[in-house]
Structure 1
């Protein structure tokens, strides 16, 4: 009779052999942009969702507002329902090519160990993809003339947008200069944390997501809506009474095309403490 440990080891080996392949990250195109992509059907198989692929994918797209051309692309393929039969006729099926961000979010919302594995793996893929670019920027830093001219241009944009506070102009110029040149000017000078004119820092959903561990703005908005902190729809969110109590406030934000301001919902940092246990439980 086999030893119990031998049986257990064999069972684990069989379970690993039966596990669907981990979804690979490959070069692809979404919205005419060449980026890293993930096959939706492979992701579905690995997550072991329990629903058929087409129903699951359409439900997730509808629930979380994913957009074709921005988050995914589709194409048709031919498949045989019974590959072992010569009489089996090929059938058309819709395939989905996903961005890493969408794949990562789909893994998160499944709320199981497979989903958490997927999210951690894709975060690691993104970090590795960004590392060579950062290293290259350090090896060939831009000239001081380039930094000065970029900073001056960024400050002129602040003037056009009506930003008059000196600290806000400096932070905005630094952010744009870092985005374009890879150099954090204020950080290098030890002046990264300027004293803002107001005590409360108002955060966007994107900034909230970054503080909660690389969670997308779409996911943050979905949680704020689900738990009664905001109402409305994307681009027109408003705080509920519960949201106001948690730090939600409507502010005037300059439009990027310079045509005036728009009213947008922002949040004090206290919302992070409200959302952290909700996301951890998801």
Structure 2
């Protein structure tokens, strides 16, 4: 069907017609603004049957001017065609009736419904993605405590030292300086104050029939003790250090 007058669709999925386009097609001799004011006396309501919009255009002199147009509903456009009482009005009214029939066909209704459904799904996906990101941002960064609580194995002083970017020698020296342990015959022992806290678990290895060596391993409880001690000295594990 030939497009006699442009019919546009709003974001709200409603069909609209330009008042000025209709005025021109109907070949109304009266100035548009005066004609439209007179038509509104038939009971048309703003924001129900029409909406005023500001448009810009160039004058013959090349200057930009602003004028008022109106977006009309199809129903209002049909009634204005009847009020024109001429062949143009009859032709335009039949055109709008056909436009409505096509718009309300099962295929077009289903197409709009699918479009709305897709928009809803897409909006939900965006909302879910935003919520997931916010949840991730709200989750605290993994701390040294988290790693310790997930682990139940025994650790050597070398392994614990690596958590802080230290050498085993340096960490042993810190523990000695803090009165936690002492060295005897190349072996480290906890002072009595800490010996019964469950911080260590020692293993003795026989070298021969007369000699043996004891290896001290730290429990997860002992690991946390070292963590708190070093933290009081502003020495943090690598995972908690700010880059």
Q: For this structure pair, what is the TM-score category when the shorter chain's length is used for normalisation?
A: 0.3 to 0.5
The higher radius of gyration belongs to 2
TM-score calculated relative to the size of structure 1:
0.36
